[in-house]
Amino acid sequence: MELIDGNKIAADVVADLKAEVATFPGRKPCLALVRVGEDPASVSYVRKKEKTAEEIGITGKMILPPADISQSALEAIIDALNADDGVDGILVQSPMPKQIDELKIFRRLSPDKDVDGLGTLNLGKVAQDDDTGFVSCTPAGIMELLSRSGVDLKGKHVVVLGRSLLVGKPVALLALQKRAGANGTVTVCHSGTTNLPSITRQADVLIAAIGRPDFVTADMVKPGAVVIDVGINRVPDPTRKTGYRLTGDVHFPTVSAIAAKITPVPGGVGPMTVAMLMKNTVKAFKLRSPQ
């Protein structure tokens, strides 16, 4: 079994970006990070994004509206960032509080600053095999992990568990694209799928993104498969100082014993999501201010 080391691959992407940003004369790329409220997981994700931006030389602009902000007030913040020439990319951390319609916020982002790639235009470009837009960061990170680990999807059966806008749908579309590295035969499973293990057992490449700790067990995986575990689940663990530990959607101890390649949690897809956000921000900067 080969462990796909997301920390190492993400560090390589970050190092390349840092070297590239250092060559930009004058203004550096600027990423606005909008975090509504104090959700503990979001606090830690946004902190990591701010730190990585700083490491690369991207200016991080933090906007921290209160948890009870109204839809219209949040939209006014987005409008101001869209109009701000000094801002190249905007990330609005999900999940947002209940009173906020997330999809409306994603759609409100100017497509040329939508570095999280969740707006209609950028998601549409993925469906059109058009690489001029921004691919949403977790799916882009999964594809980068696969290609940098020597996994070519051509001719492979790729099974995606989960159909969210954030992960399942876009990664399925990317794996399906008619281009080098992709070109897979893709099946997407969800909560309405019957006899799910019989489908996952057919996967040459299994991508699990359902948010259920340790859901995928060894009996659901074909020996020799490549397994990408997107899940980040907090499970109670009284032996830890925090009172919890992170676990994926895949039962790592048993599945790693039969997989050819597998990502760990943490240290797999998570760091890649952050690295791809930075890559998209640098792309947005270059599109807006050609060097």
Given the rule CB under 6 A, which residues bind ligand NAP? Answer: 138, 161-164, 166-168, 189-193, 196, 209-212, 230-233, 269-270, 273
| Rounded least distance, CB 208 to ligand NAP, Å | 8
User: Of 161 and 278, which has the nearer Cβ to ligand NAP?
Assistant: 161
Q: Which two tokens stand for residue 151?
A: 């996994």
| Rounded least distance, CB 271 to ligand NAP, Å | 8
3-state secondary structure of 236: strand
Instruction: Please tell me which residue in 61, 88, 93, 113 is annotated as part of the active site.
Output: 93
Those residues with Cβ within 8 angstroms of residue 179's Cβ, 6 or more apart along the chain or in another chain: 129
DSSP 34-94: E--S--HHHHHHHHHHHHHHHHHTPEEEEE---TT--HHHHHHHHHHHHH-TT--EEEEPS
User: Of 65 and 248, which has the nearer Cβ to ligand NAP?
Assistant: 248
User: Of 7 and 164, which has the nearer Cβ to ligand NAP?
Assistant: 164
| Rounded least distance, CB 264 to ligand NAP, Å | 11
**Residue 99 known to be catalytic:** no
Those residues with Cβ within 8 angstroms of residue 71's Cβ, 6 or more apart along the chain or in another chain: 99, 100, 101, 104
**Residue 116 known to be catalytic:** yes
**Residue 202 known to be catalytic:** no
User: Of 59 and 233, which has the nearer Cβ to ligand NAP?
Assistant: 233
d(C-alpha 82, C-alpha 113), whole Å: 7
Instruction: Please tell me which residue in 61, 113, 114, 116 is annotated as part of the active site.
Output: 116
User: Of 78 and 246, which has the nearer Cβ to ligand NAP?
Assistant: 246
Residue with the CB atom nearest ligand NAP in the bound state: 164
3-state secondary structure of 220: helix
Distances (CA, A) of 38 to 34, 100, 152, 155, 231: 12, 15, 40, 44, 21
- Positions annotated as catalytic residues are 49, 93, 116
